[in-house]
Structure 1
């Protein structure tokens, strides 16, 4: 695994995906991101490492357009602008991230053996929480009906 840190683009595969996006025409970039997310989110018996790494990078690009979090796309992310990504990519990215951390993911298996597994998992959860914020616990009702 050509990985140097836990960030979405801190591995060879995702960095190469970012380069592919930079080389593509602006109007092709959304379809490339959607394709990566669909491949990861789709029904599969096993999610390979390369599809998982690209999916994390693609999800980070969706996050970057829906938050002020500039950590989503490090120096290794795309340097060319992206089109406005449609809102439906948010839930597709959530589904892809869920597959990335599932027990059917080669990427999750490899990270589980790494010393900084918990940091990687926290970063994936942070991305997911931007895309699909958790519902805060409800306080007890003041009045019962």
Structure 2
């Protein structure tokens, strides 16, 4: 994975996901976000989670969190250019579960960030997303 910074879209995989969202019809974008999250939550805890799946799930969670109270807008040039429609509230809890899986054991992303010496900074960004989503999910 080509990564240039710590942001949720600052890697090739997440940036490509932003482009796929822009290419999709507006009424299909929510399904793409849901698919990205369920690709991660559908893996078993003993299964090793690839960094590409994790990066897309984090990007999807960031877009969902942006629509929550206290969420930060996704303003990076690497995210989608087209605005997302209002998203279903049940995606918030799914995004929390996906972030837990991505940040947990048997996941490549935490390992890669640890190797880069930035695991605390990355984990803090994930924790902020998770907090916004969990609060909004009730």
Same fold (TM over 0.5): yes
Counterparts of 1:29-48 in structure 2, within 5 Å, are 29-44=29-44, 45-48=47-50
Task: Tell me the CA shift for residue 112 of structure 1.
Answer: 1.6
Deviations 1:102-144 (A, max 9, x none): 11101111112112211111000000000113xxxxxxxxxxx
Deviations 1:10-62 (A, max 9, x none): 00000000000001100110000000000111233121111000000000000
| TM-score (norm. length: structure 1) | 0.87
Contact 1:9–1:73 (CA<8 Å) still a contact in 2? no
RMSD between aligned residues: 1.3
How far apart in 2 are the matches of 1:69 and 1:43? Answer: 27
Task: Tell me the CA shift for residue 79 of structure 1.
Answer: 0.7
Counterparts of 1:1-145 in structure 2, within 5 Å, are 1-44=1-44, 45-70=47-72, 72-133=74-135
Unmatched segments (≥5 aa) in structure 1: 134-145
1:92 is paired with a residue of what secondary structure? helix
1:84 is paired with a residue of what secondary structure? coil
Contact 1:103–1:109 (CA<8 Å) still a contact in 2? no
How far apart in 1 are the matches of 2:36 and 2:17? Answer: 9
1:77 is paired with a residue of what secondary structure? coil
Unmatched segments (≥5 aa) in structure 2: none
| TM-score (norm. length: structure 2) | 0.91
Give structure 1 regions of 4+ aligned residues with deviation exceeding 6 angstroms.
none
- Aligned pairs, how many? 133
Task: Tell me the CA shift for residue 100 of structure 1.
Answer: 0.6
How far apart in 1 are the matches of 2:77 and 2:71? Answer: 14
